[in-house]
Structure 1
Amino acid sequence: MTTLLFFFAALVAVVSAAPLEKRDVFVPPILYPHAGTVWKVGQKHNVTWSTADAPTQITNKQGMIVLATNGLEDIENPLASGFDILLGRFEVTVPDVADGNDYALVLFGDSGNFSPNFTITH
């Protein structure tokens, strides 16, 4: 019985030491909008990001774009969601928001990546 227990203990140790499939977090830099960009409410724009350094195994390929105002992310009202993060761009409609705030976009997939601040006007 003792031999059987040692066998199972050794088996558990080997299995737990086996390497897991390597998966990488992908944090693509947002290229547009950039600092100084001005969007008007109701317009459509292609949010773009670089996919040049995408790893072969990405933990989450489902993208989501949300607006951030003064650093606060509006997760409840995404501008876009459910797209493939490897597309490198996705069209959004500029929401009706207040003038005079600092806005940024956050691109979610594996991780959140903020764009530079830009302006939205009426």
Structure 2
Amino acid sequence: MAAAAPAAAPRDVYSPPVLYPHAGTVWYTGQTHNVTWDNSSPPKSISNRAFILLRSGNYETPVVLAHDFDLRAGRVEVAVPEVITGTYSVVLFGDSGNWSQDFLINGVDV
């Protein structure tokens, strides 16, 4: 008879709402901004490292804006990348992905 595999420890899921950027925000390539989120009720332990990706429409781009920061901080500074001018959102990953409202990046015109 095979031994049962040990039960996985329960994981906390933390999906804080992104507060900034929000609708009406305009970023320009080369600037820096603080991406902010509601950190009023984090779990006691957060099991994954945090990172932020740039999203275009319904697709996450490969552009990593920040990584390996503390989700309990409520904000992290990012540099606005050189991207084509358009509508974007940011995706905050920790234990769960959560994205911002759409906003404009004035970048490269094509």
Q: TM-score range by the shorter chain?
A: 0.7 to 0.9
Counting only pairs closer than 5 Å after superposition, residues 99-110 of structure 1 correspond to structure 2 as 99=85, 101-110=86-95
2: distance between equivalents of 1:26 and 1:117?
21
2:52 maps to which residue? 65
Letter in 2 for 1:116: Q
What fraction of aligned residue pairs are identical, expressed as a percent?
48
Is 1:29 matched with 2:14? no
2:29 maps to which residue? 41
Number of equivalent positions: 107
Question: What secondary structure sits across from 2:15 in the alignment?
Answer: coil
Question: What secondary structure sits across from 2:101 in the alignment?
Answer: coil
Preserved CA contact (<8 Å) 1:22 1:57: no
Letter in 2 for 1:103: Y
Structure (1 or 2) with the greater helix fraction:
1
Question: What secondary structure sits across from 2:53 in the alignment?
Answer: strand
What are the ranges of 5 or more consecutive residues in structure 2 without an aligned counterpart? none
2:66 maps to which residue? 80
1: distance between equivalents of 2:8 and 2:52?
30
2: distance between equivalents of 1:57 and 1:64?
16
Bigger Rg, structure 1 or 2: 1
* RMSD (CA atoms): 2.1
Moved over 2 A (4+): 19-23
| Cα drift, residue 86 of structure 1 | 1.1
Structure (1 or 2) with the greater strand fraction:
2
What are the ranges of 5 or more consecutive residues in structure 1 without an aligned counterpart? 6-11
